[in-house]
Amino acid sequence: MLKAGSTIGIVGGGQLGRMLALAAARLGLHCHIYSPEKNSCAFEVAAAATCAPYDDETALARFAAACDVITYEFENVPAKTAAYLARRKPVLPDPRVLEITQDRLIEKNFLTELKIPTAPYASVHSATQLAEGIAKVGLPAVLKTKQLGYDGKGQAKIAKNGDPAAAWRSVRGAPSIVEGFIAFEREVSVIAARSADGKVECFEVTENEHRDHILHTSRVPAKVTPALAADARRIATRIAKAFDYVGVLAVEMFEVRKGRTRTLMVNEIAPRVHNSGHWTIDGATVSQFEQHIRAVAGWPLAKPVRLGKVEMINLIGDEVNDAAQWLTVPGAAVHVYGKGAPSPGRKMGHVTKVISR
Ligand code: AMP
């Protein structure tokens, strides 16, 4: 259990690192951010910062020496970087988790082994395999690169009468998976925290609306039945246990209707705090960021209590210029990440509206 005044290293310097550092500061813990980008928005709210490439072993060694425990705020931390740090200081969650979640095929196979439903999928390394994959999963389908995909990047939809060759060209022949396109009822996610002694606390199921593949709005409570909500939390808990996870993770799921039955399919696991959990800062007694800090510090988790009906709206690109209009809205909490110039699709801030029950 880390003592107050200890230092948590965070690999990555975006808004997630920024909000983690703010949560740590509140608990009397310091954060040291490691990021190669000069203008990282987490730097300005952290006790210490290292700006160096992820393969700079001298900088990594110095960073590790300055920290008591190390965590990360994005899932694409290079495997070599994570391994180098893990030889020097505890890295939580265990970097093994990254090997699974950095590759869509390995992640889907992991879920299948746990008997957790996903969209039907097939591995694709060539145009021929894409045709075979489509024969298995059907059309419409989605082709997704195995690695480095987020917010719909590295994805191509193939319509019922679509052109698989065009999709294959659009991912530039990168190793991929093809998935059956799911006509879901809604998208939901569960943010789960697991402590070093194996206790799990899940936040309430969140309903997510995407626009142009980017999360736009999250609403809590989700419009799902209590049974489905319990199922969603069970799935997230099973995943956290299977990883022997320490920290916060997010599980994105589709709610699917077959006749009268409603079931869940897991779309993606994010081994980190997640955009769909931002509502917890203002909408619950403990945030996902604080839960993560508590977990990696070896502290007990809090039991989250939601404070009302909550809606979180992302400020994407130029929308951040409208942030001021939210300042006087009753129940609205405004977050601006301080990221500099907005560009299309860039997450610049968010607003949480809490409507008391
Ligand atoms: P991902 O990068 O896998 O999280 O996908 C981004 C978004 O694309 C998801 O949140 C869904 O809205 C949509 N999507 C991804 N995979 C599928 C699928 N198999 N069927 C339908 N929609 C999908």
pLDDT confidence tier of residue 152, bands split at 50, 70 and 90:
low
Average pLDDT over residues 242-246: 98
* Amino acid 150: pLDDT: 65
Q: Given a cut of 70, is residue 215 above it in pLDDT?
A: yes
User: How far is the centre of ligand 1, averaged over its atoms, from the C-alpha of 293 (Å)?
Assistant: 29
CATH number at residue 267: 3.30.470.20
From the centroid of its chain, how far is CA 282? 19
User: How far is the centre of ligand 1, averaged over its atoms, from the C-alpha of 151 (Å)?
Assistant: 9
Q: Rounded to an integer, what distance in angstroms lies between the CA atom of residue 167 and that of residue 162?
A: 9
Structural domain tally of the chain?
3
- Any atom of ligand 1 within 6 Å of the Cβ of 119: yes
Residues 6+ apart with CB under 8 A from 248: 191, 192, 193, 272, 273, 274, 277, 288, 289, 291, 292, 295
* Amino acid 357: pLDDT: 64
Q: Given a cut of 90, is residue 149 above it in pLDDT?
A: no
In this structure, is residue 103 part of a structural domain? no
Domain that holds residue 58: 7-91
* Amino acid 151: pLDDT: 63
Ligand 1 atom nearest the C-alpha of 104 is 3
- Any atom of ligand 1 within 6 Å of the Cβ of 26: no
- Any atom of ligand 1 within 6 Å of the Cβ of 50: no
Long-range contacts of 78-81 (CB under 8 A, 24+ apart): 78/54, 80/55, 81/11, 81/54, 81/55
CATH number at residue 33: 3.40.50.20
Ligand 1 atom nearest the C-alpha of 210 is 12
How do residues 127-147 score in pLDDT, each as one tens digit?
999 999 999 999 999 999 999
Indicate the length of the chain as a whole number: 357
Q: pTM, whole model, 2 decimals?
A: 0.97
- Any atom of ligand 1 within 6 Å of the Cβ of 181: yes
What is the best residue among 103, 121, 142 to mutate for testing ligand 1's pocket, by most ligand atoms within 8 Å of CB?
142
CATH number at residue 167: 3.30.1490.20
* Amino acid 214: pLDDT: 93
Looking at the fold, whether 160 and 218 belong to one and the same domain comes out as no
How do residues 86-119 score in pLDDT, each as one tens digit?
999 999 999 999 999 999 999 999 999 999 999 9
